[in-house]
Structure 1
């Protein structure tokens, strides 16, 4: 009997990434099923952000391959699917002094469909307003992005990703530096994306909330320690394996 093929949002094979000839990710084999809300966790320096950037083509790997949406007839590499991949970077990596309004930033998420020359259509403007309403930022549409708090800025960049209407989203520590209200709002949006069949990959640092926020988890420390459903792989033994080399004494988190 022929085995039914599993559909993956992202598939990595033998991925190795190095900085100045020093490997920071070794031989990563990883399959992320479609429709999952996945946390990437590990200690500082484990390669979490590097993994995200390598998948997004922002870093060139030494070896290996990344494929997207293999269950789709149009699945393939990032170049052919970039309009279907959304990204929310770490807030610290963004130039918040760039002279743009909140609405301008959100509309940047439409440029993959529009190109950089065409002006946004009425439908794009309506979608931007609707998305800002969803993240609780509609009243700030005309405000300069530099005038917002850290939590507000994070909501705006989340809205920019949402208007792209992607199939796979990557988010690098979206909860870092935000208040409790913003964190709750982001969690609700992530779960809504999952309910829509989207795949969301989140670099996450708070072990205490993994089981509440996510249904899939990948634990890494230069290599993949474990990856799979939270209830199967997110347990004390795997957490200790992941953080052991840091010398940090972990209290029970799972």
Structure 2
């Protein structure tokens, strides 16, 4: 059986802030149709990696290529890439309703000067229902809880209908019900053949939530299937701890 090409290939990526390298010589292949976790300590460059892939940060060096289809324009390619930012990086005082925020996910398809059509509203409401937020469409986004806000941003990414999703700590600060909703959504996206890359911090849930894991600490320590890569030895190397310390965190 022929092995599929990676949906994203990263070669020799280096990213720096004020000339201080945050990521160094990252080489990574993201497999198509998989759920991948990006795992590492605080300051390891996990969010920076996602932002560099999304072209929100300009690398010092390196190359990032997508395999999303032949003869796509840059705009068409970008419309096939969805992004769920970190909760804390969003200005929640922006005066918009829940439905307004989700509709923003359609702007890449519409163009900035075109008004959403009834089909765009219908799709937005469908995705709000999918994340359990259909009764909140007229609520101001600033009035929502952390978990509710995260669901709305997931709906915004869904309404874009991309082939690959990048999610920056979607489980951070959410309630148990929202976490359950997100996990079910990840599984559904995989069944639909989508690729999902998630910056994740809870080591205990990596084996049950994801197919693949990339361990990173300014550079890629290891990357591949969870069953072979997610070991105490590799985690100890990533977090620069003793293996017994990692073992205690995994069983807490």
TM-score bin, normalised by smaller chain: over 0.9
The answer on whether the counterparts of 1:36 and 1:200 sit within 8 Å (CA) in structure 2 is yes
1:80–1:27: structure 2 CA closer, same or farther, 3 Å change rule? Answer: farther
Match of 1:172?
Answer: 168
Match of 1:37?
Answer: 35
For structure 1, which runs of at least 5 residues remain unmatched after alignment? none
The Cα of 1:207 is off from its aligned counterpart by: 0.2
Q: Does 1:84 align with 2:58?
A: no
Equivalent of 1:94 in 90, 105, 112: 90
1:38-57 to 2 correspondences below 5 Å = 38-57=36-55
The Cα of 1:127 is off from its aligned counterpart by: 0.5
Match of 1:148?
Answer: 144
SS in structure 1 at match of 2:58: coil
Q: Does 1:238 align with 2:241?
A: no
Alignment deviations for residues 1-39 of structure 1 (CA, whole Å, 9 cap, x no partner): xx9563211110000001111111110010001001000
- RMSD, matched Cα: 2.0
Structure 2 CA distance, aligned partners of 1:80 and 1:28? 26
The Cα of 1:95 is off from its aligned counterpart by: 0.5
The answer on whether the counterparts of 1:110 and 1:124 sit within 8 Å (CA) in structure 2 is yes
Q: Does 1:159 align with 2:160?
A: no
Match of 1:69?
Answer: 67
The answer on whether the counterparts of 1:69 and 1:75 sit within 8 Å (CA) in structure 2 is no
The Cα of 1:75 is off from its aligned counterpart by: 6.3
The Cα of 1:74 is off from its aligned counterpart by: 3.7
SS in structure 2 at match of 1:18: strand
Q: Does 1:204 align with 2:200?
A: yes
For structure 2, which runs of at least 5 residues remain unmatched after alignment? none
Q: Does 1:25 align with 2:23?
A: yes
Structure 2 CA distance, aligned partners of 1:182 and 1:4? 38
Structure 1 CA distance, aligned partners of 2:237 and 2:4? 28
1:105-116 to 2 correspondences below 5 Å = 105-116=101-112
SS in structure 1 at match of 2:220: strand
Alignment deviations for residues 155-203 of structure 1 (CA, whole Å, 9 cap, x no partner): 0000000000000100000000000000000010011001100000000
Structure 2 CA distance, aligned partners of 1:63 and 1:50? 14
Alignment deviations for residues 51-76 of structure 1 (CA, whole Å, 9 cap, x no partner): 00011101100000101126x32468
Structure 1 CA distance, aligned partners of 2:41 and 2:218? 10
SS in structure 2 at match of 1:52: helix
The size of the alignment, in residue pairs, is 250
SS in structure 1 at match of 2:7: strand
Structure 2 CA distance, aligned partners of 1:22 and 1:85? 28
